[in-house]
């Protein structure tokens, strides 16, 4: 069974993102492909490359990047929600005349249309708030 996931929760201050990560790991270990993971609302902060977690705490943003690399999963953030929260890639930085970028590795920026598309394409679509 194929999964698409929506994460609306930030990496540190709330539980949702880590729960989503554990869910994805469990699904993958049972042989269920997780195709696309979308980050929206405060879930955008998972893609912030400037997060500096203390060594003895879980770095959920890093966990997502490792998972994406290991299983070739697409990590996607919504462009409008990301702009509002200051998570931008090189293209956005140029468009908005910003001096730096902070989109973490393995994440890419897309529109909401791709989220709607994914939600109706795969066997299951699950939201973590």
From residue 58 to residue 97, the character string flagging contacts with other proteins as x (rule: CB under 8 A) and all else as - is ----------------------xx----------------
Rounded to an integer, what distance in angstroms lies between the CA atom of residue 31 and that of residue 8? 25
Question: Which DSSP symbol is given to 97?
Answer: T
In the bound state with other proteins, the residue whose beta carbon lies nearer, of 75 and 78, is 78
Rounded to an integer, what distance in angstroms lies between the CA atom of residue 92 and that of residue 123? 33
CA distances from 39 to 31, 55, 56, 99, 119 (A): 23, 25, 25, 24, 13
Task: Assess 50 for contact with other proteins (CB under 8 A).
Answer: no
Nearest distance from C-beta of residue 125 to other proteins, angstroms: 5
In the bound state with other proteins, the residue whose beta carbon lies nearer, of 26 and 116, is 116
Task: Assess 2 for contact with other proteins (CB under 8 A).
Answer: no
29 CB contacts (<8 Å, ≥6 apart)?
none
To the query of whether residue 52 is one of the catalytic residues in this protein, the response is no
Identify the H or E element spanning 14: none
Catalytic residue among 78, 87, 88, 104: 78
Report the interface residues with other proteins, using CB under 8 A. 6, 8, 40-41, 80-81, 111-113, 115-117, 119-120, 125, 127, 129
């Amino acid at each position: 069974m194929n999964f698409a996931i929506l994460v609306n929760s930030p990496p540190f201050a709330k539980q949702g993102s880590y729960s989503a990560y554990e869910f994805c790991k469990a699904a993958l270990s049972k042989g269920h492909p997780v195709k696309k993971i979308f980050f929206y609302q405060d879930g955008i902060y998972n893609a912030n490359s400037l997060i500096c977690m203390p060594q003895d705490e879980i770095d959920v943003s890093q966990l997502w990047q490792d998972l994406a690399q290991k299983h070739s999963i697409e990590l996607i953030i919504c462009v409008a929600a990301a702009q509002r929260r200051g998570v931008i890639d090189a293209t956005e930085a140029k468009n908005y005349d910003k001096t730096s970028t902070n989109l973490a590795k393995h994440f890419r920026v897309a529109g909401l249309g791709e989220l709607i598309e994914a939600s109706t394409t795969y066997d299951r679509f699950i939201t973590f708030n």
